[in-house]
Amino acid sequence: MKGALKLLLVILMSIEAYSQADPQVDRRPPIIDMHMHTGLPHEVPAGTPSLCRPEPCQGDGHATVNSTDLMKKTLEAMNHHNIVLGFLSGVDWSAVQEWTKSAPGRFIASPFILKAESSHLERLKEEIESGRFTGMGEIGTQLNGVPPNDPSLEPYFKFAEELDLPVLIHTLGIGPYMPHFSSAAGSPLLLEEVLVKHPKLRLFVENAGYPYHDEMIAMMYQYPQLYVDVSTITWVIPREAFYDYLEAFVRAGLGKRIMYGSDQMVWPEKIGEAITAIKQAPFLTNEQKRDIFYHNAARFLRLEDNESIDPR
How far apart CA 273 and CA 283 sit, in angstroms, is: 18
Q: How many domains does the chain have?
A: 1
Nearest CA-CA partner of 100 in 55, 130, 143: 130
Question: If DSSP codes are grouped into helix, strand and coil, which group holds residue 211?
Answer: coil
229 contacts 264 by C-beta, under 8 angstroms: no
> Looking at the chain, which runs of residues are DSSP E strands?
31-37, 83-90, 107-111, 136-139, 166-169, 202-205, 226-230, 258-260
pLDDT tens digits for range 25-37: 457 899 999 999 9
Task: Pick the range with the lowest mean pLDDT from 114-118, 198-202, 239-243, 257-261.
Answer: 114-118
pLDDT of 80 higher than 60: yes
pLDDT for 19 equals 47
Q: What is the mean pLDDT of residues 305-311?
A: 46
**pLDDT category, 40, cuts 50, 70, 90?**
very high
Nearest CA-CA partner of 134 in 96, 103, 98, 183: 96
Give CA separation, 140 vs 136, 137, 211, 256, in Å: 11, 7, 17, 25
pLDDT for 11 equals 56
CA-derived radius of gyration, the chain: 18
Question: If DSSP codes are grouped into helix, strand and coil, which group holds residue 69?
Answer: helix
Taking residue 289's Cβ as centre, other Cβ atoms within 10 Å add up to: 19
How far apart CA 140 and CA 137 sit, in angstroms, is: 7
pLDDT for 71 equals 98
How far apart CA 182 and CA 158 sit, in angstroms, is: 24
How far apart CA 186 and CA 188 sit, in angstroms, is: 6
Q: Residue 267 corresponds to which amino acid?
A: W
pLDDT of 171 higher than 80: yes
Element holding 72 (H helix, E strand): helix 67-81
Count Cβ atoms within 10 A of the Cβ of residue 89 and give its class: 0-12 exposed, 13-18 middle, 19 or more buried. Answer: buried
How far apart CA 28 and CA 51 sit, in angstroms, is: 30
Report the sign of the C-alpha dihedral through residues 294, 239, 140, 193, in that order: positive
Taking residue 196's Cβ as centre, other Cβ atoms within 10 Å add up to: 10
Give the HSE-up count for residue 265: Cα atoms under 13 Å, Cβ half-sphere.
Answer: 24
Longest CA span, the chain: 49
First CA to last CA distance, the chain: 30
117 contacts 152 by C-beta, under 8 angstroms: yes
CATH number of the domain within which 236 lies: 3.20.20.140
Please provide residue 294's backbone torsions phi and psi, each rounded to the nearest 5 degrees: -145, -60
High-pLDDT (> 90) share of the chain, %: 86
Can you give the residue range of the structural domain that contains 265? Answer: 2-309
How far apart CA 154 and CA 223 sit, in angstroms, is: 18
